[in-house]
Amino acid sequence: MHIGTSGWSYPSGKGAWNGVFYPATRSKRQGTADFDELRFYAEHFDTVEVNTTFYGQPRAEVTAGWVARTPPRFSFALKLYQKFTHPKMFCEAALEAAPASEGPLLDLLAEVTSSDIDDYRAGIEPIARAGKLAALLAQFPASFKRTPASSDYLAQLLRVFGEYPVAVELRHRSWSDAFGETLQLLNAFQAAWVQIDEPKFRFSIRQNLLPNVTGFYYMRLHGRNAAQWWRHEHRDDRYNYLYSGEELKEFSETAAAANALVKKVYLYTNNHFAAKSVVNAVMLKAQLGHPIEGEYPPEIVERYPELRDLVAVASTLFRVSR
C-alpha cells in the first residue's frame, strides 16, 4: 500500500506549503545546495501524484531528474496531459498564449495526434524504465458525460496507453448510472476506476469504493469544501479542507480491505491547501499502522496539532542561516 499527496510543490498563494512543510525562505546553507522539495518529500512518503504532466507535456530530462532524486522504491502517478482529457481547457490555454488564434485553428489544435501520444510516452520513459511508474491518471472533468462518443474516446485512450497501468477518474453521474457498462469498459483494459471523495452535487458520480480490477486500486481524497468548490477566488481554495480522524477512518478501512484483494493500493490526498494533504496523509498512515518516516518541521505541528503525537519534530530543520 502506498500513501502520498497529489503534488509536492505549492510555492505561492494563501495555500502555499512554504513555511508549513517546507522552509519559508530558500537561501543556501553552508556546504549544501538549495533546498530540494522532492528529496525532502520523498523522505516522508513513498509515492506522489504529479500535476505538472497535466499542464504541459512531460520532458525526459525533467522526469529523469525526478528518478535520480528519489529512493529506489519511490513511485510516481502521472496525470495525463490536459489535451487528452480536457480539450476545452487546452484550447483556453492556447488562446491565452496566442489571443489572435481563430476558433477553427483552436479546434484543430485540440485534436489528439500520434505525435502528442509519442511525446507523452517519451517524456515519461525514464520513470517507466526505472520501475517507478505507479500509474497514469486519466482525470476527466465533471462535464465529461457518458455518451457513445465519449465511451468510444475513452476506449481509444485506454488502448493507446495500454502498456501502462491506467487509473480513470470520472466525475459525472451518467457513468455511475450506467454502472455495468462503465465497469465493463474499464475492466476490458484492466484500468482502475478511481474512487474519489469530494463534495457531492446533483450530477456528481456515485461510487461504492470497491476495487474493480485485481492489478491495483486507486483512491483520491479531494476534500469536502462544498462552499468553495465551484465559487472561489483561486482554484486552490476548493481544496481548503482538513479531514478529521473520524472522517478518514472510512478510507483507511476501505484501503485496508482493498489491500487484501489487489496487488497494489495507491491512496492520494488532494486537499493540498496549506499542506493539509500532508497532514491527512500522515493521519492515514497512522490509522493503517504504517511507519511515519522523516522529521517534520515544528511549524506544521504548531498549525496542525493533529500531528503532535504522530510525527518526529525536527528542532533545527528550518533554521536556515542568513
Model confidence over 35-47: pLDDT tens digits? Answer: 999 999 999 999 9
Query: Does the pLDDT at position 9 exceed 90?
Result: yes
Q: How many residues does the chain have?
A: 322
118 DSSP assignment: H
Query: Does the pLDDT at position 53 exceed 80?
Result: yes
CA 52, 73, 41 angle in degrees (round to 5)? 50
Least confident of 4-8, 33-37, 50-54: 33-37
In which domain, by residue range, is 108 found?
A: 2-313
Query: Does the pLDDT at position 98 exceed 90?
Result: no
Query: Does the pLDDT at position 95 exceed 70?
Result: no
**Whole-number pLDDT of residue 87:** 67
Q: How confident is the model at residue 110 (pLDDT cuts 50, 70, 90)?
A: low
96 assigned to some structural domain: yes
307 assigned to some structural domain: yes
**Whole-number pLDDT of residue 33:** 56
Residue 131 φ/ψ region, left for φ over 0, alpha for ψ in the -120 to 50 degree band, beta for the rest: left
**Whole-number pLDDT of residue 97:** 47
320 assigned to some structural domain: no
* φ and ψ of 139, to 5 deg: -100, 115
133 assigned to some structural domain: yes
**pTM for this structure?**
0.90
321 assigned to some structural domain: no
**Whole-number pLDDT of residue 89:** 52
**Whole-number pLDDT of residue 255:** 97
Radius of gyration of the chain (CA): 20
Q: How confident is the model at residue 322 (pLDDT cuts 50, 70, 90)?
A: very low
Q: Around Cβ 101, how many Cβ atoms within 10 Å?
A: 15
**Whole-number pLDDT of residue 254:** 97
Please indicate whether residue 7 or residue 23 has the higher confidence score (pLDDT): 7
Helix (H) or strand (E) holding 167: strand 166-169
Query: Does the pLDDT at position 159 exceed 50?
Result: yes
318 assigned to some structural domain: no
On the 0-12 / 13-18 / 19+ scale of CB atoms within 10 A, 17 is buried
| Amino acid code (one letter) for 256 | A
Q: How confident is the model at residue 199 (pLDDT cuts 50, 70, 90)?
A: very high
**Whole-number pLDDT of residue 108:** 46
User: pLDDT exceeding 90 applies to what percent of the chain?
Assistant: 80
319 assigned to some structural domain: no
229 assigned to some structural domain: yes
Q: How confident is the model at residue 314 (pLDDT cuts 50, 70, 90)?
A: confident
Please indicate whether residue 234 or residue 32 has the higher confidence score (pLDDT): 234
On the 0-12 / 13-18 / 19+ scale of CB atoms within 10 A, 30 is exposed
Least confident of 13-17, 66-70, 269-273, 274-278: 13-17
Closest CA to 272 of 31, 65, 20: 20
Please indicate whether residue 56 or residue 24 has the higher confidence score (pLDDT): 56
Please indicate whether residue 154 or residue 110 has the higher confidence score (pLDDT): 154
Least confident of 19-23, 125-129, 265-269: 19-23
| Amino acid code (one letter) for 264 | K
Q: How confident is the model at residue 24 (pLDDT cuts 50, 70, 90)?
A: confident
Mean pLDDT of 238-253: 97
User: What separation in angstroms does the CA of 248 have from each of 51, 203, 245, 281, 286?
Assistant: 23, 24, 5, 10, 11
| 186: CATH | 3.20.20.410
CB-based contact 223:241 (threshold 8 Å): yes
Number of folded domains that form the chain: 1
Query: Does the pLDDT at position 90 exceed 80?
Result: no
111: three-class secondary structure by DSSP: coil
* Residue in the structure block whose three cell numbers are 472522517: 247
Q: Could you give the CA distance from residue 300 to residue 308 in angstroms, rounded to a whole number?
A: 9
